[in-house]
Amino acid sequence: MYNWNDLRFFLELSRRGRLISAARKLHVDHTTVSRRIAALENEMNARLFDKSPSGYKLTDAGLRLLPLAEQMEAQSNQLYQEISGKDARLSGTVRLAAPEGLSAHIIAHNIGKFRDIHPDIELELMAESRRTSLSKREADIAITLARPDSGRVIAWKLCDYRLRLYGAAHYLSQRPAITKLDDLNDHDFISYIDDLIQLPELRFLDQIIKKPHVVFRSTNVMAQYNAALDGIGLSIIHCFMADHNSGLTPVLPEEIYIDREYWLVVHEDLRHVARVDAVCRFLTQLLKEQHNNLLGHT
């Protein structure tokens, strides 16, 4: 029979990906983590991690063990709380994958509120513009631009958000006036790199103008945003980013706008893990409160 305590080391290494980081969290030496993982693998007669230059990655066997270990951890916390009569404070690490703009301009600005409520939960934020695999445990929770159509996941719509076309004041003052859609043919644009766009929801410039004259491309939303501020060209930008910067002016705001959605997605094995549920509840409430900001209502 394996040592149940070894599951603590397994869980921490699966979350951290590095021996030193896991050891620091567990307050032990990294050699202790390595030894306990080796003992667990030996008892289970299965390799649970693959080691690579980027750290420790779960094998298929590790991925099968992970939700079971998570459940045991949650039940252990519940047992302590019910038997001792003490409130077990939620603790542990939760990794969230979310779009770059939302991560930088809304979630990161509200981390303090979350920490006030749950000081022992460490939130890791992955700002991504690509698909994140919850089944491979690249993240515990993901905010996506559409409802997933496959996988053992639970998803619900968080909110709608809006994007508009913006330009820097000094760019607009030096270029031909824009009073109608056809005037856009005389202007420069900022956009994504076409062949690197993984998400169809990010293809929106072509909806506004056919064959736009794109002078700068980037996979990074913040790079596009800063290029627009620098007067490189016009760019489709989230209203919750641009409307709070006096350096950007909306172009034909009543005619040019794009509405999209944010969805919260969590693997069904983690839905009722207390710390994951706490993050899900916080994000759901946060984006509800940000309704006007997300839709560009001032």
Q: Are residues 26 and 71 in the same domain?
A: yes
**Residues 120 and 239 both lie in one domain:** no
227 & 267 share domain: no
Please answer whether residues 190 and 217 qualify as being in contact, where contact means their C-beta atoms are separated by less than 8 angstroms: yes
The least confident of 54-68, 164-178, 280-294 is 54-68
Nearest to 163 by CA among 142, 198, 191, 187: 191
Domain residue limits at 105: 92-158+262-290
Which residue bears the tokens 């980081």? Answer: 21
Q: Which candidate, 39, 14, 38, 44, places its Cα nearest to that of 26? A: 14
Tokens 């030193």 sit at which residue? 20
Looking at the fold, whether 71 and 117 belong to one and the same domain comes out as no
Q: Can you read off the two tokens belonging to residue 146?
A: 């559409």
The pLDDT tens digits for 21-36 are 999 888 899 999 999 9
**pTM for the whole structure:** 0.75
63: its two tokens: 């991925």
Contact 125, 98 (CB under 8 A): yes
- High-pLDDT (> 90) share of the chain, %: 62
What is the mean predicted confidence (pLDDT) over 248-262?
94
Q: Would you call 14 exposed, middle or buried from its count of C-beta atoms within 10 A (0-12, 13-18, 19+)?
A: buried
Residues 73 and 96 in one domain: no
Looking at residue 67, its pLDDT comes to 84
- Across the range 276-293, mean pLDDT stands at 94
My answer on whether 254 and 286 are in the same domain is: no
Is 296 part of a structural domain of the chain?
no
Same domain assignment for residues 10 and 75: yes
The model's pLDDT over 179-231, given as tens digits with 9 standing for 90+, comes to 999 999 999 999 998 877 767 777 878 878 888 999 999 989 999 999 999 99
Share of the chain above pLDDT 70, in %: 94
- Number of separate domains in the chain: 3
Which pLDDT tens digit goes with each residue over 87-108? 556 778 899 999 999 999 999 9
Domain containing 133 — which CATH number?
Answer: 3.40.190.10
Q: Which amino acid is at 103?
A: S
Distance from the first to the final alpha carbon of the chain = 62
Tell whether 177 and 238 lie within a shared domain: yes
Find out whether 81 and 43 touch, Cβ atoms under 8 Å: no
Residues 165 and 256 reside in one and the same domain: yes
Q: How far is CA 174 from CA 63, 190, 209, 233, in A?
A: 57, 17, 21, 11
What string of H, E and C letters represents the secondary structure of 61-127? HHHHHHHHHHHHHHHHHHHHHHHHCCCCCCCEEEEEEEEHHHHHHHHHHHHHHHHHHCCCEEEEEEE
For residue 43, give both structure tokens.
């008892």
Same domain, 205 and 232: yes
Give the per-residue pLDDT at 79.
Answer: 73
Q: Determine the pLDDT at residue 113.
A: 95
The CATH number that applies at residue 19 is 1.10.10.10
State whether 184 and 56 are in the same domain. Answer: no
Structure tokens, 11: 């869980």
Length of the chain: 298
